[in-house]
Amino acid sequence: MEDTYKIEIVSPEKVIFSDKNVQEVILPSYEGEMGILKDHISIVSFLRPGIVKILKSSEDVSSFFLQDGIIEFYNNNLTILSSKIINIKNLNKEKIEQLITETEKILKDEKLNDDNRYLANHKINTLRSLNLN
């Protein structure tokens, strides 16, 4: 698999995901969705709330809900650092509703600055867009 590279997703508690045979990763950057393929130019970027899609092949896709984070891609190694990232497989409707409710409480704070208000609203929109059975 010569068109693959390594990825690690790390939270403060543990390594969430690690794989050496990833073809593409789609990330929610502030500028919009960003795709990373093998031999991408080196980059460091902040991430907004959204979905991280990891494609090992067209049939093998892993998805994660990301609350925030930073990425570094260098020498065909992608590292995602996040304070909160959840595998979509571990989410259910109750957990999504809990996350939305917690975020709506944050939005009620009148002292919340515009940047944090944008991020909270984007987080809610992303969570509501998830179609879980």
Q: Domain-by-domain residue ranges, the chain?
A: 5-87, 91-129
Q: Give the DSSP letter string of 22-90.
A: ESEEEEEETTEEEEEETTPPPEEEEE-SEEEEEESSSS-EEEEEESSEEEEEETTEEEEE-S-EEEGGG
Give pLDDT, residue 59.
Answer: 80
Q: What is the pLDDT of residue 60?
A: 86
Contact 65/86 with Cβ under 8 angstroms?
yes
pTM exceeding the 0.85 threshold for the entire prediction: yes
pLDDT at 132: 61
Per-residue pLDDT of the chain (133 residues; tens, 9 = 90+): 478 999 999 999 899 999 999 999 999 998 889 999 999 999 999 999 999 999 997 788 999 999 999 999 999 999 999 998 999 998 899 999 999 999 999 999 889 899 899 889 989 999 988 866 5
Position 102 scores a pLDDT of 93
Query: What integer pLDDT is reported at residue 2 of this predicted model?
Result: 77
pLDDT the model gives residue 44: 95
Predicted local distance difference test score (pLDDT) of residue 41: 95
| CATH superfamily placement of domain 5-87 | F0F1 ATP synthase delta/epsilon subunit, N-terminal (2.60.15.10)
Q: What is the predicted pLDDT for the residue at 24? A: 95
